[in-house]
Structure 1
Amino acid sequence: MATPITLTQPANTWEDRPITLAGRMESGLANWYLTLWQKQGTTWVLRGSTRTIADGAYKFLYTWPAPGAATFRVVIGNKNPGTLGTSPDRTVNVLDRTLVMNKPAATYTVLTGVKMTGKLTPPEPGKKLVGLQDRYGGKWRTLTSAWIAANGTFAVPVPDNLPATKTVRVITLGVPAASVEASGYAVITIKALVNAKVALVGAGYVNKTYRAGCPVKPSQLRLLTLNYWGFDGLVHRGELIVRDAAVAKMITVWTASFNAKFPIRRMQRVDLYGGSDIRSMAADNTSAFNCRQVTGNPYALSPHSYGYAIDINTVENPYLAANNVWYPSNGLAYRNRSVARPGMLFSSSAPTKALRAAGFFWGAGWRQPDYQHFEPQ
């Protein structure tokens, strides 16, 4: 007579979660060899084995990644059907976990914090990652990742410092290959634009470059933020403090320079260098407003004090001061203007042409040349 064996009805589960199949031998015997079988079409396939413990109890954990109905039985021994005993058949519904990426906009602008959003259903307790992939060389590659929120939503960043058209999708990370969920894909275009923004300037924003007695007040200045091409071939976000009346011309100049992909090392307000022109120049910084004396001539007020003048790529375009000292000291190799290198300014350079067209004079024409400097005529 066959030894009775039970199999409790398993709870429904998701395709990336194990199904718990448990029961007991009514004889209560321990250490009996059991096998788990799954029905596939008209045949049964072996899925695992275990042994009973105290009171004849047993448990299988088995993950079936295909959504739909899955039927199992437990057999005493390794043959199906078993001569010593076979449990009742149990069918469990394996539910489909879905990962949906919201339909993105068709186009974005570089450096605007592009993100792909969506939701994992059902939400996963605890931390779980999704990855952003793009199609490259006929294969999917993972670019970035983000945590899924407790409610299942996600917002995964898209690298947006280089213009490109990408085919993107989102997948779950950190799960077995058979359990990976993938969203549908979308095609997005990231466009290279200067994307200039203008804001008011408070006194606290120029506390190192403005002081009482300066020819312009902070209220007459503007913070101009814009994109520029770096020496690394990527787009970066920069900032200039300029006179309010110079904003329109500066946007025109930097739009032309950006479109020509003229490289800029960095573009930061001089306050980040403690108001020091020498430190700013040594950092190869492109800047405008700084209320100060002329570097190398403490008896003259710099044109930068008015918020109109601008210095560009100060290392690649050094300056011979009135004291016959070249600034910055790490730009001495660029005094030879016969050898063209990236970031150097010439008459044919996009910033030079655009600034001259806007009515600026280039300091390269002075007896003591200032290759970095432009000011209104």
Structure 2
Amino acid sequence: MEGQVKYYARVRAYKKVSGSNIYGVYSKTLSVETASGNRYTYKTGFYYDTISRAVEKRMTGKSYTENPNIKLSDLRYVKVKYYGFDNKVKNGELVVNKKIAEKTVKIFYELYQKKYQIQSLHLVDDYDADDIKSMSANNSSAFNYRVIEGSTKLSNHAYGLAIDINPMVNPCVKGESISPENGQPYAERDVTKCTGKYKKHMIHKDDTIYKIFTKYGFSWGGDWNNSKDYQHFEYNGK
């Protein structure tokens, strides 16, 4: 069963009088909606679930619009824990394709075990699904039904098959174009030359996050030839 589970209940109040419980009458039958019955918990604080009505409401008209390519039932809401740049444990969330939901949970659990730091991990809808706003805030995210910047082709983010990590520190570089603009200091990938405050959070080939993502079948945008998308990991498997 996809979606939320609905339970029905009746309640009644009571009060104590001289040590005894005095009960009132039962209420009318109430419906209570819970998280869906499809939750998969990998470890405490690390799970994925079908898209609840609350999450659907956050996404609709922002990261998600009705389209012929992907349905909400093809997506999963992922909840994880992570270490922030302040080294404090925080709760994070993503929406990804159901094909990679389990992989995503496991990836972020491994990153958590390594105490890998991520500045922000919230749905792009918190930024009105504006990719530039989200990247500029160094917010890591996944699903967003959009085209590749500067083209008419759908991004793998539109299918929930791509995840961007610390995007301001790991910008997309195409010739002289750097996105987001405030990621310009990090276009210089040599840590001995980079002047950015958060240069220790730059992603490099064969580093911790690279090894974890590629172990689960993802490829890295930093390996591309014509442009470099250092924040970008995408899944092209089955």
**TM-score category of the 2 structures, normalised to the smaller one:** 0.7 to 0.9
Structure 1 residue 351: deviation in Å?
A: 2.0
Structure 1 residue 221: deviation in Å?
A: 1.0
Tell me, in whole angstroms, the C-alpha distance in 1 between the residues paired with 2:215 and 2:166.
20
Q: What is aligned with 1:313?
A: 166
Between Structure 1 and Structure 2, which shows a larger proportion of strand residues? Answer: 1
Q: What is the one-letter code of the residue matched to 1:285?
A: N
Contact 2:48 2:102 in 1 (8 A): no
Q: What is the one-letter code of the residue matched to 1:288?
A: A
What SS does the corresponding residue of 1:334 show, helix, strand or coil?
helix
Q: Alpha carbons of 1:214 and 1:240: their partners in 2 closer, same or farther (altered >3 Å)?
A: farther
Structure 1 residue 268: deviation in Å?
A: 0.5
Contact 1:265 1:284 in 2 (8 A): yes
Q: Note the 1:1-377 alignment, pairs <5 A.
A: 195-201=45-51, 202=53, 203-207=56-60, 208-213=62-67, 215-295=69-149, 297-321=150-174, 324-339=176-191, 341-366=199-224, 367-377=226-236
**TM-score, normalising length: structure 1:** 0.47
Structure 1 residue 348: deviation in Å?
A: 3.1
Tell me, in whole angstroms, the C-alpha distance in 1 between the residues paired with 2:163 and 2:74.
17
Structure 1 residue 194: deviation in Å?
A: 6.6
Between Structure 1 and Structure 2, which shows a larger proportion of helix residues? Answer: 2
Tell me, in whole angstroms, the C-alpha distance in 2 between the residues paired with 1:324 and 1:277.
19
Tell me, in whole angstroms, the C-alpha distance in 2 between the residues paired with 1:371 and 1:241.
20
What SS does the corresponding residue of 2:125 show, helix, strand or coil?
helix
What SS does the corresponding residue of 1:204 show, helix, strand or coil?
helix
Q: What is the one-letter code of the residue matched to 2:118?
A: I
Unaligned runs of 5+ in 2: 1-42, 193-198
How many residues are treated as equivalent by the alignment?
Answer: 183
CA RMSD, 1 decimal:
1.7
Q: Looking at both structures, which has the greater relative contact order when contacts are Cα pairs under 8 Å and sequence separation is at least 6?
A: 2
Contact 2:173 2:187 in 1 (8 A): no
Q: What is the one-letter code of the residue matched to 2:207?
A: S
What SS does the corresponding residue of 1:294 show, helix, strand or coil?
coil
Structure 1 residue 282: deviation in Å?
A: 0.4
Tell me, in whole angstroms, the C-alpha distance in 2 between the residues paired with 1:279 and 1:243.
23
- Per-residue displacement from partner, 1:6-50 (whole Å, max 9, x unpaired)? xxxxxxxxxxxxxxxxxxxxxxxxxxxxxxxxxxxxxxxxxxxxx
Structure 1 residue 199: deviation in Å?
A: 2.4
Contact 1:199 1:222 in 2 (8 A): yes
**TM-score, normalising length: structure 2:** 0.73
Tell me, in whole angstroms, the C-alpha distance in 1 between the residues paired with 2:211 and 2:44.
18
Structure 1 residue 347: deviation in Å?
A: 2.0
Q: What is the one-letter code of the residue matched to 2:169?
A: E
Q: Which portions of structure 1, spanning 4 or more consecutive aligned residues, are displaced by more than 6 angstroms?
A: none
